[in-house]
Amino acid sequence: MRVLLLGGTTEASQMAALLAGAGIDAIYSYAGRTKAPAAQPLPTRVGGFGGVVGLARYLSAAKITHVIDATHPFAAGMSTNAFEVCRDAGIALIRLEREPWAAGPGDRWTLVPRIEDIPTALPDTPARVFLAIGKQQIGLFATKPQHHYLLRLVDVPDAPLPLPDTTILLARGPFTTQGDTAVMQKHAITHVVAKNAGGTAARAKLDAARALGLPVIMANRPSLPGDITAKDGDDVMAWLHHGADRGV
Ligand code: NAP
């Protein structure tokens, strides 16, 4: 057995620890989006594979027998490529898929189908928006330049931001409700923007928004191909040991 773990998430780090602890021959793969990714207890490679063709070549050359897709639920490109290549090459694939978040009493969520729909769901009058959705989709908010945006990012942006009124907060999760409540109060936030990632690492901003009575604009997840999924690392380990070869 030789495993490729597609990572970039807190859950992938937990999975890496389980694989390393079990002595399983595995490689952790980062996309290379952050400048100093978290160290892993597994051999690590960094960077895109070069689409489906590159991934197919990589899996064959590295003699990978099992792929664990532990990428972020919004990383649809990588998940789709992994699904197509593994299906065609007959390589066992499982997606580590955390439960989406669900609104509870006291939450003021507006759900929108896609990230692209978030800016129009923001008000037209100037607001103070907490934008903790990573750097890739910041440009979408250029259509609402009247707002002040608090951007929480892992690295200092390489290029000028497409938004005129921003504050940048450099931080890496996991975050706490107490910490996020303090951040929102300090910056007088009126609206919180989120992607329905699920999991615990980025949950704090939703609990903080609830505590402060703030509205949250939340994008639903993209749908992904493939129906072999696991809810946590233990499920994946059981699949590796018992289910993978039977395709369950
Ligand atoms: P994406 O749109 O699905 O991926 C775009 C391309 O990036 C892929 O086609 C692949 O390039 C490369 N890539 C993505 N994940 C990779 C991995 N683990 N190892 C090697 N190459 C990878 O993904 P994304 O939304 O840009 O996210 C990039 C990474 O950040 C992912 O690993 C994801 O887990 C992590 N992340 C994403 C989010 C989010 O909100 N999207 C949040 C937290 C963490 P090639 O086609 O060249 O192979």
- Nearest-angstrom CA–CA distance, 122 and 129: 9
Taking the C-alpha atoms of residue 135 and residue 39, their distance in angstroms, rounded to an integer, is: 21
- Tell which one of 72, 118, 221 to mutate to probe ligand 1, the residue whose CB is within 8 A of the most ligand atoms: 72
Per-residue pLDDT of the chain (248 residues; tens, 9 = 90+): 999 999 999 999 999 999 999 999 999 999 999 888 999 999 999 999 999 999 999 999 999 999 999 999 999 999 999 999 999 999 999 999 999 999 999 999 999 999 999 999 999 999 999 998 888 899 999 999 999 999 999 999 988 999 999 999 999 888 999 999 999 999 999 999 999 999 888 899 999 999 999 999 999 999 999 989 999 999 999 999 987 765 55
Amino acid (one-letter) located at 67: V
Å from CA of 77 to ligand 1 middle: 7
Q: State if residue 8 touches ligand 1 by the CB under 6 angstroms criterion.
A: yes
The Cα–Cα gap between 239 and 231 comes to: 11
pTM: 0.92
Helix axis angle for 204-212 and 177-186, nearest 10°, is: 60
Burial class (CB in 10 A: 0-12, 13-18, 19+), 218: buried
